Structure formats: C-alpha cells, structure tokens
Structure 1
Amino acid sequence: MLGETPYSAENPVLPLDHLVLRGADADDALVLREGVLSWKDLRTRVSRLAAWLAREVPERGARVATWATKGELTCLMPLAAARAGLVHVPVNPLLKHAQVAHILSDSGAVLLIATPARLKTLEAGDVPADCRELGEADALAVAAELAGEMLPSQADPDDLAAILYTSGSTGRPKGVMLSHANMWLGAESVAYYLGMVRDDRTLAVLPLSFDYGQNQLLSTWYAGGCVVPLDYLMPRDLVKAVERHAITTLAAVPPLWVQVTEMEWPPETAARLRRLTNSGGALTVDLVRRLRALFPQARLFPMYGLTEAFRSTYLDPDLVDTHPTSMGKAIPHAEILIINELGDVSQDGEEGELVHCGPLVAQGYWRDPVRTAERYKPAPAASRYGGIAVWSGDRAKREADGLLYFVGRRDAMIKSAGNRISPQEVEEAALATGLVAEAVALGLPDERLGQTVHLVVRASAGSSDAIEELPRKLMQELPNFMQPKVIHWRDSMPTGPNGKLDRTGLAAEIARETAA
C-alpha cells in the first residue's frame, strides 16, 4: 500500500461492485447484441457471475484475466470479480499471443476467459501451467445456471480490484494496480464533472482494457445511466449507433474524432449528443473547431490523464472556444502541482514536471518495485494530500488564471491513435525474427494518428530476404496499432559518445527524410 486514502462519512467510498446497486430496477443498464439488460437484470447477472467466479477461484486476491471483445463478459467482469474478491486483468483484444503471454505470466493469472478464436492463437508455453483456459460463452452459460446469488462485497476500499497493463517507453507492458477506491472515486469524479444523470446513454467505443475505456462503464453506472458497448468497424457505425440507441455521451481519441468530423451527420442525430469527451492525446485547435461546428449543442470536454492516476485534468467546456490548447484544471479528487527543478511549485508561466497527488493515485506497478519507485514518490511538501504522488515525467505550466498547458513528454513513448506503444517492444519483435541485427523504433508526428511508428533496422548477415520477410513476420507478432508505417533499412546504425545507438540523431534524420 503506497498511502492512505482520505474518505468521509458524508461521501463514503464503497467496494466497486456496489455500483450495480445505483440504478432503478426497470431502467436500461446495458445494451448488448443479444438484448437489453435492465438494472435488475444487471444486478442478477453480476451476482451470479461473481458466485461462479468465487466457486472456481476461491483464493481471495487471485488474478482472473479476460481477453474478448466488448460484450456481457467484459462489461460485467469489473464488478463481478470485485464482488468475488478477485483481481480483474482485462487484456486488450487487439493484442497477440506474445503480449498476452507476458501479461498472463506477469500477473500470475490463474484463469483466462477468452473467445475460442483468441484461445486458438496461443502457442505452446504462452499460458502458464497453473492458469486455466475457458471459453467466454461457456463461462457465461455456467454462471447463468447458478441458482444462488452472491451478496454485495464488504471489501476494504483499499483492496486491489484490477491490474491494467500499459506500455512504458522501455521494456514490456507493466501492470498498474487499481484499488476499489481508485475506481470508485474515478467513476464518481467523471460522472460529477460531466454532469451525467440517469437518462444518459453512453456509447462505449474505447477499449475496456484502458483506464478511461473502463471508466465509460463505471461513471455511467455511477450516475444510474445506460451503456451501449460498440466494437465499431467503420466511423459511420458510430453515426448509426448514436441514432439507434439515442446516445447522449461519446468518448473517443483524437484520430477517431478526425474520422467523426468527416462523416455525414444528420442534424437530428448530431443533436442527440449532450457531451463529447476526449482521451489519449490532445485535440488540435482545428479539430476543436470542427467538433464545435458539427455538434454545437454538445459540451466538449478535453482531458489529460495517466493510467498511473487515472484522470488528472479536464477543460471546462465553457472555455474550449477561448482556450482550446489548455489542459484545464484538476478533476475532482485530484490535486495537480507543477514542480520546478528546485522541487518547488512553479511560478505562473514557469515550466515544470506535472505531479498528480490524491486518492486517484494507483497503488504502483504490479510486482515491480523498481519501476514503482521511479514513478511513485512522496508528494511535494506543498501537497494538501501528502502521501505518495505520481511524478508523471510530463512537462507542463500553469498560467495566472490557473489553467494548465502541456509542454512535452520526457520519455520516448510513442502515442498512436490513443495507444501507448513501447519502442522497445517493437524493437524486440523485430530482433526476434533473426532478420535484423539492430533496430530502433521511433514515433513521428502524424496529422491523423498523433504519431506513427517508424522502424530503423540493419539487416543480419546473410538475411538476403529480410526486406520482404520482416513486414510479414511483424504482422504475425505485433498487433495492428504497433505495426511500423515505414521500415527504414540502413547499412550501419549511428552511435553516440556512450556507444549506444543514437536515437535522437536517427529521429532527426528520419524526420528530414519523411519531410523531403
């Protein structure tokens, strides 16, 4: 435990599964392909799934992973696992076997529930010996047959509830540990500042394995509203879904917002949306203007966040037109400080490191005390919360009006279409093919995606077919969002004074080439 979370009798934090108690029995809670679940139905199904999980995995705190597209299993598991006293590990359905194998091994998952098609892609050794595999439909069918139901849990709010895996600038994905309190307060915070109410209907298009993707469910259910999960194929699917399901709330990442603005929106359909929320990268000024013109009646909420602390800031929609480049101010339950090189709170206009303090701060990285110590450190002396804070590494500044502005990222993380991509993970996949001797993955600016992956490589001796074979091998080993847009072949790779590959020089070189 990294620090104590302050709770109050006036506004208690409850175990996460208590969210299922907040809606009215007859109201819609979840719209699935198979039909609509009322809040009464949702309570029953969460209870039965929890009872089945507790029977299958009696050890409290054990990890249970899911690897499936949006549906009943992935929507119910955050609450059902919490009620059963287990820790949910949602796996991005876009990941391939190597990434899934790492997550299963690292988390120590004892059960993997997935779609049969995904289970078939796993290779020998991908699933640890002590981890059972079960098909999604089989798990739901057995749980539905249970006569008994499970009462709401009495878990301590600081108990671990989920591990969300997120890529770092180096190394394999690391698991961020979220408590019941982290997730409950995150749901409460977002529902509050978005002004969500019981008749709101959220179109959940973000992956449920992401922090804000999962919060689409939790914040809507905190408000007693209805969630419509959608694995869209084309942007026009969103237009149809907004009309068909009377959607009021839509969250997306900037590349999807670009596509949204390129669609034909009937005025009556566009008018259904009450609020638009952004995550996974900053909105450009041009994109803000296009969204405001297309959805003039909708309130636009630009946001900034860290998986290590969920959300950090949001910009008041009333300020979007006049301050489109601002990150806004701290969300409820968050304290955001800008700390200069001397360790003091920065003056107005002075650049510093963004530090997130307060009860939304996660519990660190799962089984990784070294990387935890690098990012989770004692809060600055000026913090009203104290305890442990997330030192983001991001550079920001605060102006005299209190609004925050993003300056830049310290690390080499590649952020493409809302996905955080570890350069080292792409490089390791390339080297593992045996076709290349050296590899450097870079993120270059892209108007639609934010950044795209460029891979610079030197072929291994004797790899005469490397140019043709490497793209094919990478397609087998890496998910689509990690695929290099361009592979740049070099006879030799530049090195710096320390003998390491000169990433900065390569980045400048490739940027010049692509601009030419």
Structure 2
Amino acid sequence: MSALDSSPAWVLAHAERTPNAPAVDSPWTRLNYRQLAEALRALAGHLRASGVSPGDKVLIALPLGSAGAVAGLAVQALGACAVELDRETGASSVDDILAQTQARHAFIFGQDARKWAGKPGLGHLYVIHSTRPPERMLQALSPATCTWVQEDGVLDPEAPASPLSTLPEVKSDAHAAIVYTSGSTGTPRGVIQTFGNIAANTRSIVEYLGLSSRDRAHLVLPLHYCYGKSVLQTHLLVGGSVFLDPRFMYPQVVLEAMAEERSTGFAGVPLTFELLRRQAGAEALSKLRLRYATQAGGGMSPDTIQWTREALYPAELYVMYGQTEATARLSYLPPTRAAEKAGSIGVSIPGVELRVVGDDGTPLPSGETGNLVARGANVTPGYLGAPEETATILRNGWLWTGDLAWRDADGFIFLVGRAKEILKVGGHRVSPAELEHQLARHAAVREVAVVGVPDALGGEAACAVVVLQEGAAVKEDELRRFCREALPVHKVPKHVVFTDALPRGPSGKVLKAELRTRYSSVGSS
C-alpha cells in the first residue's frame, strides 16, 4: 500500500483541503487540521532524528488527550509501530513489554516520571507536561535523554527539529500498532495490527455509520483501547473531528460538554451507558444533538439498551461486536432491525465474513450453536513473538474468536458466550450470558456477572455475583426463583452472592477471572 492510506496521510490531506476545520480537541486544547499536521510533522521529524526507523516500536503511555493522538500519528508517519499502553500498567508488565518490543523510545506523562525511571533499554523519553519539565523530574529519568512535548502534542519550541516533509511508503502488512491484552499465562499478549488492518477496518466502520466531515465524536474511551482508537481513526479519515474528554467520572460535566461542542457521535461500553442511566438528568439529555451512538465491549442489558435508545432519541444506537484481534470491529446491528432482532450482535461489517462452525471448522446450519469465526482484511496476523498462541486463533485463514454463537434464518448472529466461560453443570452446558440477561431483568438488580465455581459435589456450579439497585433489598432465594420462571432448573444459579461493585478493567469489562478467584470457595461449605 502507499503512504496515502494511513492515518497520518489522511490528516495531511485534510490539512491541505480544510486547514481550519477542527480536528482533535479536548477540554484544554484545540487543534485544527493545519495545526495537527504541523504537530505530527515536527514530532515525527524529531523522532527520526533521535533514531526511530520504519518498523521500530515506540511506547505511548499517556492519558486521553491531544498529545496521545499526535504521538500515535507521528510514530506511524515514520512507518514505525505505536505500542499504546494503559498508564496503570504494572511495572512487571511494562518490563515484559519492553523485552518483547525492544522499544528504545517512549512517550510518558510527567506525573508518571518515577515509574519510568531506569527502565532497561529506554534511551529517549518524550515527556508530556504542561510546562517545561522541572529539573528534578529530568534527574529522576536520567540517564535517558528527555524531550518536552506540550499537552496539545506540540514539540518543545526550543527542541532542534527538521519536520517530516514526506511520508514513506509502507507495506500493508507492516506493523502499525501493538495492542496489549491479558495473556492466558499472565504474560502480556501483544496483538499486531498492520497498516492494512487499520485502513480496512476504518473504512468499513465509516461505511456503515455513514460518517462525514460534518461528524464530531465525543470520545471518553482511552486511545490504548482499540474501540477508542477506532473512533479517532474513522473521524480523521472523513475529515471530521473528535473531542477527547477524560472526565467521564463526572457524567453530567461530559453531557454539558457534548451539548456545547455540538457532538454528533458518542461511543461507550456497557458501563458507560449504565452510568449515564443512573446519573444523567433529563434536561442535560434534551440538549444533546447526537446523530448516532455506538456500544461495544460486551453485552449490555436489554433494559439499558432500551433506556439508551429512548434517552438519546433521535440518535440511532448501533450495538456492535468486535475484538482486538479484528482491529476493532466484526459486526453491527442495523438500528432499523434492532427491535426485530433484539439480543443479536447483527451482521458482519463490510469486507468481513462471519461463520458459525463446528469444532472441525465445518459450517453449521442456522439455529445450531457453534464457534464464531471471521475473516477479512482487518484480521490480525497474530500475536507479537507468540507463534503458538497465534496458531490457536488463526486456522486456515479464519480468526477463531473464542465465542459461541448461532445464526438465525436471516443471517443475524446471536452470541451464546465465550467458549472458555461456558459452564459444565451436571453434564449440561450453561451460558453465563443467558443467566445474566435473566437476572438483569429483575427490578432490584443493577448489575450481575455469572461465573463458574467448584461444586462441593464435583464439577462446576453457577455463581451469580449481584450488585443491587440503591436501596433495594432482595434475598438469594428470590433471585433463584426469578430465574426458575424462565430457565430450566439446571441453568438456575446454585449460588447468589452480593457485592457493592463488580471489578472492571480499564475498558470497563468485568474481570471474571478475579470473580472466579474471589468466590472459588463459596460452595465448599
């Protein structure tokens, strides 16, 4: 592929055509396309001068903001590979990632300086700080060379730089990003995303959302999360804009900003919309001018889906499904079919083929549950330095998602659950998602997660971990009876436990492994 089909190239093209159009903003910074292009050219030129070459890995561990967006674009403008990390990534995981990627350059947040001091191999650190970093900070990072980058991504005006003039051509299979997920062995697992993967996935999403230069996304999801990154990429492709807002701990503040910025799009995971449902006022919602909203990152309760559609009307809600291994997206539920196909993850996005197959890879007829597999130009070539794990997900040109699903007569797909999370209860296969959906319908239940725990009689038992609505009171037996009204007896959870909150990762997904460990002894007495 030429350099013309990459995120930096899209920015530079819009900078020529519409230089004054808004591009990447935040509560504290504003960058139009001309300014964004100048910032990425300057930073890319400095990276090149400091030794970054095509194919090199560069770490980016920054909060949601303009500097992170510019850094990622600058790295990819060189044909290098951006390795974006959650700032909260533990020290041992960072060490593993440095060993895997052999990164010599990193973008860090000034407040995190001590965490990055003395990291092996890192010779050049780009420090994001509101002002020139104080001397004590630079001393803590010694002996690494440090360069100041302002919070809007603009390079230190005093730093010697020769801005990048032209973008190098890159091969479609060249590594553009490494996105880390938790590995089965506890070691971080880096999903490779190529320049071709990103271009294909971005164009598919733009097509089904109907995005244009008039769209402005309000983004509260982090850029190290492929869902958040895809929101940025899609709007940069069409010449739209993104408002990066890291203040979602205050939903009312974000809603007010969405109205003021006249945002047309909003993206969230289930927890995002749950928090809006609990805290958003009717007046603030009435001021929004959204054209669409998207939801991914796990199944959302039917009640919350219905609330979202009503609260954000006339905006259309797109329920979506994807994986990091698919760059971001695999399917979407067209809003026009939402009522008819409630509970479905929809149909494949443009350019992607989805199948439901048996364990031997043979396609199954509609209505029969099997393994969900996918293929398309957005599918990863594998995990960085992990050929055995790669072989478990990539088979004969297909990505095995690890999810079980079935397809109806119209081709719409319905998830049953993660294959590795399906419980074996008394010889029966039980889907945690099915139990969760039933329990979520109870008026007293705010959130629920179902996991398998050891059964005193042998095998597994279903344990429902429940968060109640504020002020609600309900007993374990009542919730089990509620399940029995709609489910066969072998699917009724044997244990129901109550907690104040479900543990979640940075993207908002429930950490079921932590729940399994926490409640592993619940059935031992």
* Identical residues among aligned pairs (%): 26
Q: Deviations over 1:81-135 (max 9, x none)?
A: 11112111001123232332322222221112101221213476xx223554341
What whole-Å deviation, never above 9, does each CA across 1:258-309 have from its counterpart, x for those lacking one?
1112210426745411111011111211111111111120110011111111
1:167 counterpart (182, 200, 214): 182
- Highest RCO, 1 vs 2 (Cα 8 Å, sep ≥ 6): 1
1:136 aligns with 2:151: no
Aligned counterpart for 2:36 among listed residues 34, 38, 42: 42
Aligned to 1:308: 325
| 1:355 maps onto 2:373 in alignment | yes
Q: Structure 1 residues 63-72 or 22-31, which shifts more?
A: 22-31
**Contact preservation (8 Å) 1:16, 1:181:** no
Distance 1:84 1:29, change over 3 A: same
Q: Which residue in 2 is equivalent to 1:461?
A: none
| Structure 1 residues 260 and 512: CA distance shift in structure 2, 3 A | farther
Q: Please name the residue that 2:138 is paired with.
A: none
Letter in 2 for 1:67: A
Question: The residue matched to 2:223 in structure 1 has which SS?
Answer: coil
**Which amino acid letter does the alignment assign opposite residue 409 of structure 1?**
R
What amino acid maps onto 1:399 in structure 2?
A: D
Q: Summarize the alignment of residues 465-476 of structure 1 with structure 2, pairs less than 5 Å apart.
A: none
The 5-angstrom pairing of residues 249-260 of structure 1 reads 249-260=265-276
Shift of 1:201: 0.8
- 1:388-467 equivalent positions in 2, closer than 5 A: 388-412=397-421, 445-446=465-466
1:3-402 superposed matches below 5 A: 14-23=5-14, 24-122=18-116, 127-137=119-129, 138-140=147-149, 143=155, 145=157, 146=161, 148-232=163-247, 233-262=249-278, 263-266=280-283, 269-309=286-326, 310-378=328-396, 388-402=397-411
AA at the equivalent of 2:266 = L
Aligned counterpart, 2:135: none
Q: Contact 2:103/2:121 (CA < 8 Å) preserved in 1?
A: no
Amino acid aligned to 2:127:
G
> Where in structure 1 do 4 or more consecutive aligned residues deviate above 6 Å?
478-488
SS in 1 for 2:190: strand
Hey, what's the Cα distance between the residues in 2 that align with 1:367 and 1:80? 25
Q: Which amino acid aligns with 2:232?
A: L
Shift of 1:169: 4.0
Task: Name the CA distance, whole Å, in 1 between partners of 2:305 and 2:332.
Answer: 14
Q: Distance in 1 between matches of 2:221 and 2:181?
A: 15
Segments of 5+ residues of structure 2 without an aligned counterpart are: 130-146, 423-431, 434-450, 452-461, 470-502
Structure 1 residues 487 and 45 mapped into 2: Cα distance closer, same or farther (>3 Å)?
closer
Residue 480 of structure 1, CA deviation: 11
Cα offset, 1:369, TM superposition? 0.8
Greater alpha carbon shift after TM alignment, 345-354 vs 167-176: 167-176
Question: What letter is aligned with 2:414?
Answer: Y
Partner SS state of residue 252, structure 2:
helix
- The C-alpha deviation readout for 1:413-466, integer Å capped at 9, x for no partner, is 999xxxxxxx9xxxxxxxxxxxxxxxxxx99655699xxxxxxxxxxxxxxxxx
Q: Note if contact 1:163-1:175 (Cα within 8 Å) is conserved in structure 2.
A: yes
User: What CA distance in whole angstroms lies between the structure 1 residues aligned with 2:366 and 2:506?
Assistant: 42
- The CA RMSD measured in Å over matched residues stands at 3.4
One-letter amino acid of the structure 2 residue matched with residue 17 of structure 1: P
DSSP 3-state at the match of 1:302: strand
Structure 2 vs 1, CA of residues 36 and 133 (structure 1 numbering), >3 Å: closer, same or farther?
A: closer
- Unaligned 5+ runs, structure 1: 1-6, 379-387, 416-422, 424-441, 450-474, 489-502
Alpha-carbon contact 2:256-2:284 (below 8 Å) kept? no
Contact persistence 1:49–1:144 (CA under 8 A): no
Residues 448 and 161 (structure 1), Cα distance of their counterparts in 2 relative to 1, 3 Å cut: farther
Contact in 2 for aligned 1:242/1:269 (Cα 8 Å): no
Task: Give the structure 2 partner of residue 510 of structure 1.
Answer: 522
The 3 A distance-change label for structure 1 pair 371 and 201 is same
**Structure 2 residue identity aligned to 1:70:** L
Deviations, residues 303-328 of structure 1 (Å, cap 9, x unaligned):
11111112111000111223220010
CA shift, 1:244, in A, is 2.0
- In 2, Cα distance between the equivalents of 1:507 and 1:409? 20
Q: Distance in 2 between matches of 1:44 and 1:334?
A: 35
Paired positions, count: 427
- Which of 479-488 and 197-206 deviates more? 479-488
Deviating more after overlay: 398-407 vs 25-34:
25-34
In 1, Cα distance between the equivalents of 2:286 and 2:224?
A: 29
Report the TM-score, using the length of structure 2 for normalisation. Answer: 0.74
Per-residue deviation, residues 197-252 of structure 1 (Å, max 9, x unmatched): 11111111111101111111101111210111111132222212211211111101
**Are 1:191 and 1:219, in contact at CA under 8 Å, matched by a contact in 2?**
yes
Tell me which residue corresponds to 2:437: none
Q: Give 1:328's aligned amino acid.
A: G
Question: Aligned with 1:78: secondary structure?
Answer: helix
My pick for the range that moved more, 86-95 or 137-146, is 137-146
SS in 1 for 2:155: helix
Shift of 1:144: 5.1
Q: 1:286 to 1:33 in 2, by over 3 A?
A: closer
Q: Secondary structure at the match of 1:258?
A: helix
TM-score, length-normalised on structure 1?
0.75
Q: Distance in 1 between matches of 2:317 and 2:512?
A: 31
1:177 alignment partner, SS class: strand
User: 19-28 vs 171-180, which deviates more?
Assistant: 19-28
For residues 282 and 288 of structure 2, the distance between their equivalents in structure 1, rounded to whole angstroms, comes to 9
